[in-house]
Copies of this chain bind each other. A is one copy, B any other.
Amino acid sequence: MKNFMWWNPTIVIFGEGTISQIAVQLSAVGAKSVLLLYGGKAIFKNGVYTQVTDALNENKIAFVELGGVKSNPRVDKVREGVARIKAASVDAIVPVGGGSVFDSAKAIAAGALYKGDVWDLFEGTAAIESALPIYGVLTASATSSEVNNIAVVSNPEQDKKTSITSPYLFPRVSIIDPSVQASMPESQTVNGGIDIMAHVLERLFDGAEGAELIDEQGYAIIKSMIRIIPALRESPDDYVARSQYAWAASLGHNGSMSCGRDPRGDFSSHKLGHSLSLIYDTPHGASLSVMMPAWARYLYRDHPTPFARFAESVFDIRGKDEEDRAAAGIDELERFFRSLGAPTTLRELNIPESDIDRLAKNASIFAPFGVLQSLTSEDILEIYKLAY
């Protein structure tokens, strides 16, 4: 095991009927006014907006509202939040929504206590030296932003998508009531589920040695997700499956899966998928179900061990030859993605074969990347070809 540092200071309050606790927690620290941050109409439809605002009102906590946070959240909305807080100071920020709302809340929390423009913090030209406390209500699980200290924000003017990380950015409290996620559309359950799996797989496939204990923790999450996602497609309001989905999401990307291994994870599939999202607006989960099997097939002959161990532990694949087991495990993973109705080829995304060069060029801007194997622009081109 490699050396590591780990903690998880966010207090998670998990379960059905816990949303009103947000106001109790805010009252306990004497908060009198908050910025209530959210996305679109979902929280009005599923009743979460009412639950949160009723609880705030009952506890006499005033709130300023800011809605309209989009997925792939943007710096202009963050600036709007910062300006709102600078005009009418608040004691805390209350994101109510999914990962993009939490990410925006973190950026606003840091930006509100910084004199200059918040984008400086993303550019690294200024350091995050403090942040407003965040007390959030999660309504869509996938990114794990509710339990980590990372915020990813886009700046379309500069064509950049960048992250900030700081110990000040851990939410103080995150409420996760899985029952409100029953109204999540099936496509989001599937895409989010693949993303949750990919957060873990990017670590399992990093080639780390001596991290079997953490590998086993990861296999456990993957095996659970293979059970959970189909169960939710069948019955979206299956609370047991929905709650395990939510907790798997938190565990998968709260840093615990990196303990004892390269803290970066491999994340090549994420980077290769990113170009699909950028150029064709492919949903994040779909970009992963296409690129991860292709990436794995390109590499497994040179690095069979992590794939073979995955095949044995998750799919119970036996046999003498490590390379064969590795290949069979990748096949099974792809078959599982297909069983969810997720795409596994570029062709299914209606991307013309002639675009492969363009895709490779776009992804190669960041090359070389990857931990299991450092990918050159030639490697990247070959992987997109395999994905076709």
Which residues of A are interface residues toward B (Cβ below 8 A)? 1-18, 178, 209-210, 212-214, 216-217, 219-221, 223-224, 227-228, 239-240, 243-244, 247-248, 251, 259-260
When A18-B3, A219-B220 are in contact, do A243 and B11 touch as well, CB less than 8 Å?
Answer: no
Query: Given the known A-B contacts A1-B243, A7-B8, A15-B4, are A220 and B213 also in contact in the complex, defined by CB atoms under 8 Å?
Result: yes
Closest to A2 in B: B15
Q: How far is A173 from B280 in the complex, measured between Cα atoms in Å?
A: 46
Number of copies: 2
Check if A221 sits within 8 Å of B213, measured CB to CB.
yes
Residues of B within 8 A of A243 (CB): 1, 210, 260
In the A-B complex, the 4 residue pairs with the smallest Cβ-Cβ separation, listed nearest first, are A3-B15, A216-B220, A210-B240, A1-B243
A3 CB to closest chain B CB (Å) equals: 3
Contacts of A15 in B (CB 8 A): 1-4
Nearest B-chain residue to A1, judged by Cβ: B243
Q: Which of B14, B212, B217 contacts A5 (CB 8 A)?
A: B14
Residue of B nearest to A220 (CB): B216
A219 to B210, CA, bound (A): 18
Could you tell me if A259 and B14 are in contact, using CB atoms closer than 8 angstroms?
A: yes
Question: A223–B216 contact, CB under 8 A?
Answer: yes
Q: Which of B5, B11, B178, B209 contacts A11 (CB 8 A)?
A: B5
Could you tell me if A8 and B8 are in contact, using CB atoms closer than 8 angstroms? yes
CA of A120 to CA of B7, assembled, Å: 31
Nearest-CB residue, chain B, relative to A8: B8
Inside 8 A of A220's CB, which chain B residues have their CB?
213, 216-217, 219-220
Question: Shortest CB–CB separation between residue A17 and chain B, in angstroms?
Answer: 8
Least CB distance from A235 to B in Å reads: 13
Expressed in whole angstroms, the Cα–Cα distance for A214 and B18 within the complex equals 20
A18, A209, A217: residue with the most chain B Cβ atoms closer than 10 Å: A217
Are A1 and B224 neighbours in the complex by a CB distance under 8 Å?
no
Q: Which residue of B lies closest to A217 (CB)?
A: B220
Can you give 18 contacting A-B residue pairs, CB < 8 Å? A1-B14, A1-B244, A2-B15, A3-B15, A3-B18, A4-B15, A6-B11, A6-B14, A7-B12, A8-B8, A210-B239, A212-B227, A213-B220, A216-B224, A217-B220, A219-B220, A220-B220, A247-B259
Report the Cα distance A12→B9, complex, angstroms: 11
- Are A224 and B240 touching (Cβ within 8 A)? no
Closest residue to A174 on the B side, CB-wise? B7
Q: How many angstroms from the CA of A97 to the CA of B14 in the assembled complex?
A: 34
Given contacts A8-B7, A220-B219, A247-B260, contact A240 B1 (CB under 8 A): yes
Measured CB to CB, the nearest residue on chain B to A259 is B247
Q: Which of A6, A13, A18 has most chain B Cβ within 10 Å?
A: A6
Contact indicator B5/A213 (Cβ below 8 Å): no
The answer for the CA separation of A239 and B209 in the assembled complex, in Å, is 12
> How many angstroms between the C-alpha atoms of A178 and B1 in the bound complex?
10
